[in-house]
Amino acid sequence: MKAVLRVILVLLVIWTGVIAWASANEKPYDFIKVSPADIANCDESDGGPKPELVPLKDSEGLMNLSLLTTAKANASSLIPGYPRRHRIQNLNDGLYNNGASWIPAEMPAWAEIDLGNEYIVQKVVFGSEHSAFWTDRAATKFRILVAKHYSPDSKAPCWKEVYSYDNNNSAISNTTEFRFSPQRCRYVRVEIEKSVAGDVRIDELEIYGKRPFLF
């Protein structure tokens, strides 16, 4: 029995050392840099709130993986007629508010982020507008899907539903977080079925998580 305990103790010491080594040698995350030019390029002709910076990490230390330089946004469609506003790339441009948002051409719709590599994801954050002004185009029914491998079809077996929401009496207007059990994935999609006061608008699609540990 004592021999078993010694082995367990040794393994715990080794594991503690491995964790300490990995933490000390972890590569920094490579985030996009939002410049004054990026802010100036936002279309503010509607008179709405000015752009606001999106955080790189949350209060728990989880990283906003959407803002990695490897992350790429995609969507089911794009509302026409706004060359500087409501663009697909605005889903993860690091800026909040209407001038830096995305709106689809039709509903239902989906928006997604390809993180570029697999990460451990456990929270998605989005809303119609960060600073309340228009109070329109807010989601009332949606699903959050994750995948390691890609398919444009949300019904494909590679996609896993990790969160669902359906409430006509509580539209997602303000920036809101949605938590789920940690998932290892590369792709994160929000599939919106219904919205109120117009086709949905997503201000910024934030995905919070971290690198897988060692492997």
Residue 47 in domain: yes
Per-residue pLDDT of the chain (215 residues; tens, 9 = 90+): 666 566 566 555 454 443 443 444 458 999 999 998 888 888 878 888 999 999 999 999 999 999 999 999 999 999 999 988 999 999 999 999 999 999 999 999 999 999 999 999 999 999 999 998 999 999 999 999 999 999 999 999 999 999 999 999 999 999 999 999 999 999 999 999 999 999 999 999 999 999 997 54
pLDDT value at position 6? 65
Residue 13 in domain: no
Residue 1 in domain: no
User: CATH code at 110?
Assistant: 2.60.120.260
Beta strand spans in the chain (E): 52-53, 63-64, 72-75, 95-96, 109-126, 138-147, 160-166, 176-196, 206-210
Residue 5 in domain: no
Which uninterrupted H or E stretch holds 118? strand 109-126
Residue 22 in domain: no
Q: What is the number of domains present in the chain? A: 1
Q: In which domain, by residue range, is 118 found?
A: 29-210
194 forms beta bridges with 141
pLDDT value at position 44? 78
User: Which residues are CB-contacts of 14 (< 8 A; sequence separation ≥ 6)?
Assistant: none
What is the rounded distance in angstroms from the CA atom of residue 205 to the CA atom of residue 215? Answer: 26
User: What is the chain's length?
Assistant: 215
Residue 204 in domain: yes
Residue (of 112, 114, 93) closest to 204 by Cα position? 93
Residue 201 in domain: yes
Residue 11 in domain: no
